[in-house]
Amino acid sequence: MTKKKLCRIRTIVMVLNLMLVIMNNSYAQDMIVNNHSIKIIFPFSIEIDPMEKLLLINFEKDPDSLYLGFEPQVFDDTINGTGYLIIGWRTDKKIDVYHQKSLKLDSLKYSIAGAGLNKMIPVDMEIAFYEVNDFGVQAHFKFQDMLAREVEILIIEKNKSKRKPFGLLAPMGDAATNPTSLPMILLHDFYFVRRNNTNIKVSINDKSHKLDNLPIPMDWQKMTFTRYSPKPLIATLNPEYNGELDALKTIVGQSTIQKDNCTYEIEWIDQNASIKSMSLQNNIHLLTIGFSPSFPNLNTIPSNAKYKGKFTISGHESVGSISGEYTIQSDKGTVHIRMVPSKGWNPKITKFSTWFLFTVAKVFKKWPTTYQWDAELQKSSDGSWHMQSKWIRTGKILKD
């Protein structure tokens, strides 16, 4: 081999080695960027309270001296335990909670119902049975109330035709006067108890009370206003909070964050992250809150900045969605956030009877518009964030 050829080979090898070094350095630089750890401050949360079945019974037109409705609930989970409870809806708009001693209940969860919790009473239920089949409700309860009166509830549907359920956001939040969260009672396979071929008895101290009726027919049948769901999803949006926020930790370019039973979808612009959606896994159906545009990382927004966007909360398509708007105002280490479900509830309409019901009874779709969430966040010198939040009722239903 001549000197000239050997020199060429050495030159080629040197060039190749140089290219390899450049490529390795570039790859290493990309790895440094892509593995850069960041913290995302995100103020929204959804909590799930597991429940097996739900039954709501009204007799407001024929009330007792103390009660005008009962609400049996069934639990079988590690949080609440296993057993039955019955909410007594009082004439003063407060509630009493009668429950089997096997349940482990948090009284704060019942403070958002009506005008608040009056009393929780552990009882021995002589009879406690509630099932739902293709043809309707089979339920029987017997217990003593706080005045030592015997209460009996009996509903046995014997209709030969199958029920035709639909999805519903229960307007239970409409009765709350001092809410601590936005209650989202998503009722899957929801239906009313039919009047014909049904044995019904609600008695207190041996006095029977007539159940309220639904003023319009449903699926060409007369209905009581007693309603039920064998698959309720009980969720609360942004429970009131006063304390330090935990940061979501991720690296640049990562598309999702998994934390406990939540999945956060991230959108990246340059190296700035924002939250596109948060999805909450549960035993009924995935529950998601999405943002448009994506909700910014509060760690990266500048002072004196304003943001606004829209949000949508959705689960199974049968129960529709809740939507509204949010605003953000930053000012030298302080951030103010306001969230209003201004669009209310958008139901999934599958038949004329539900369209008519939701059109006539506007409270079904409009009650969320009266809720407003306000939060103030302060950033400390050590980089941590403190949030104080609250809910109020605005007292007015917003128009479309």
Residue 258 exposed, middle or buried by CB count within 10 Å (0-12, 13-18, 19+): exposed
State pLDDT tens for residues 297-338.
999 998 889 999 999 999 999 999 999 999 999 988 899 999
Percent with pLDDT over 70 in the chain: 90
pLDDT band at 33 (very low <50, low <70, confident <90, very high): very low
Confidence check: pLDDT of 184 > 90: yes
SS3 percent helix, strand, coil of the chain, rounded to 5, is 15, 50, 35
pLDDT digits (tens, 9 = 90+) for 304-313: 899 999 999 9
| Range in 11-25, 214-228, 374-388 with the lowest mean pLDDT | 11-25
DSSP secondary structure code for residue 160 in this structure: S
**Which residue, chain included where needed, has tokens 């057993």?**
83
Whether residue 28 is predicted with pLDDT greater than 70 in this model: the reply is no
Please state, for a pLDDT cut of 90, what percent of the chain lies above it. Answer: 67
Residue 368: pLDDT band by 50, 70, 90 thresholds? Answer: very high
The pLDDT of residue 32 is above 50:
no
pLDDT digits (tens, 9 = 90+) for 244-264: 999 999 988 899 999 989 999
Contact 341, 169 (CB under 8 A): no
Q: What is the mean pLDDT of residues 222-243?
A: 94
CA angle 126, 129, 130 (to 5 degrees): 150
CA atoms of 341 and 186, how far apart (whole Å): 16
